[in-house]
Amino acid sequence: SGSASASTIKQVKLERESELRIEVGSETPLKLRLLNGSAEIFGSELAPEIWLTFPPRLKFAVFTWYGATIEMDGATETDYMADETPMVSYVNVHAVLEGRRNRAKTSSPNDSEASQGPRVIVVGPTDSGKSTLSRMLLSWAAKQGWKPTFVDLDIGQGSITVPGSIAATPIEMPIDPVEGIPLEMPLVYYYGHTTPSNNVDLYKALVNELAQMLETQFAHNAESRAAGMVINTMGWIEGTGYELLLHAIDIFKANVVLVLGQEKLFSMLKAVAKSKPNVDVVKLQKSGGVVSRNAKFRQKARAYRIREYFYGLANDLSPHSNIANFSDLLVYRIGGGPQAPRSALPIGADPVANPLRVTPVNIDQDLLHTVLAVSYAKEPDQILSSNVAGFVYITDIDIQRKKITYLAPSAGDLPSKYLIMGTLTWLET
Ligand code: ADP
């Protein structure tokens, strides 16, 4: 890999089936355009000659099937060419999925089995390129006119909405290389933590809700049923993480399991699939371009993601600071609430809280800097099963005046007064 280069215009000629791997510098954005030939970024084709501006720290690759010349303007942390990529194997998977979509489309919509397109789940350790592969498969499908559903179960580094959430959204166009997944009206459930071990039962319950909701939507929409779905998962593949993968495969009725870069996981899933004749487990090579991100980087990426939700990638959104009375908002948490001390329980009783119990939270300083979800629930007992409208960020708690100040994507009343709290916090910078 190269060292930091000066900020100058530079041209790069790419041979067929090779890619230019780039890490944008940490301070300034990078401009890039396609001068001639054809090229794509994670499955999304570049328009000729149009400058694209990539934000600091973004890591990506410009791949070409037939050759291209790229022009760059700005500082990079790294940029280098690679002619060994797993792209041919990835596009072969796409071709197989395409065949299944076409078969589903020409089947009678009354045959719920045959008219169902591929349900692909991408699994593997962290930093194996799961999100990237999901994105390519979605963009290639969208380019051919399908509207596949993207399901993101990664509560740590998800790409649909703020961390701590699981979400789904139809992909109607190849995913923009800069903007990512469009944030319009995704179906979101808020878990509230960035690791599933905080409350495994809750994580599972929300995955069930999401799957059920999608099932209902598919039942009424032959087009999206035929296009199928691509499910991105967490990098947690050991122990409980593995159980959660099996759970997701079952609950979403996945029929294609793509395993990235892990022999052991592949053979385990292959063995499980022996009893499920309609599930194909496919091993795929991890790209050498996938960049490993350490815990600190992930933490930072989560903070940027929250910032992006409120302010936009290029500071192009104007969130609104609102003030409410304590009595206007009802904050709840799910599970993990204050547990009775052992001494207060009958002898022999276990002081474990019900992981799915929804309990009201007193508004106090503990709420400062938390990210809360705004539930669509109409009653507290619907909170667990309801998706969320969006998020607010608590910026001030005035105990004396009983006023709470929060940042919301827009001005005006919240869609509901039921807010869900987890452990997700953010320090605005
Ligand atoms: P995972 O979802 O398995 O954790 P990602 O797909 O998010 O992994 O990839 C990790 C990082 O590597 C991301 O920042 C991604 O943009 C980057 N990346 C993936 N493939 C390439 C590539 N071929 N060249 C350069 N960067 C890449």
Nearest CA to ligand 1 atom 4: 127
Which residues, judged by CB distance below 6 Å to any ligand atom, belong to the binding site of ligand 1? 19, 21, 59-61, 124, 126-132, 235, 287, 289-291
Radius of gyration for the chain, computed over Cα atoms and rounded to the nearest angstrom: 23
Question: Is residue 416 classed exposed, middle or buried when 0-12, 13-18 and 19+ CB atoms within 10 A define those classes?
Answer: middle
pLDDT value, residue 200: 96
315-318 contacts: CB < 8 A, separation 24 or more? 317/409
Q: Which of 54, 291, 300, 305 to mutate to test the pocket of ligand 1 (most atoms within 8 A of CB)?
A: 291
Q: Which of 399, 397, 390 is nearest to 418 (CA)?
A: 390
What global pTM score does this model have?
A: 0.94
Q: What element of type H or E holds 405?
A: strand 403-408
What is the C-alpha to C-alpha distance for residues 360 and 251, in angstroms, rounded to an integer? Answer: 30
CA distances (Å), 39 to each of 2, 254, 402, in order? Answer: 22, 31, 56
Q: What element of type H or E holds 13?
A: strand 9-14
Residue 128 marked ligand-binding? yes
CB 370 within 8 A of CB 425: yes
Residue 130 marked ligand-binding? yes
Note down pLDDT in tens along the chain; length 429 residues. 445 555 589 999 999 999 999 999 999 999 999 999 999 999 999 999 999 999 998 999 999 999 999 999 999 999 999 999 999 999 999 999 999 999 999 998 888 889 999 999 999 999 999 999 999 999 999 999 999 999 999 999 888 999 999 999 999 999 999 999 977 789 999 999 999 999 999 999 999 999 999 999 999 999 999 999 999 999 999 999 999 999 999 999 999 999 998 899 999 999 999 999 899 999 999 999 999 888 998 999 999 999 999 999 888 899 999 999 999 999 999 996 545 555 666 666 665 678 999 999 999 999 999 999 999 999 999 999 999 999 999 999 999 999 999 999 988 899 999 999 999 999 986
Q: Which of 154, 46, 143 is nearest to 91 (CA)?
A: 143
Q: Which of 19, 23, 59, 298 to mutate to test the pocket of ligand 1 (most atoms within 8 A of CB)?
A: 59
What is the C-alpha to C-alpha distance for residues 16 and 331, in angstroms, rounded to an integer? Answer: 56
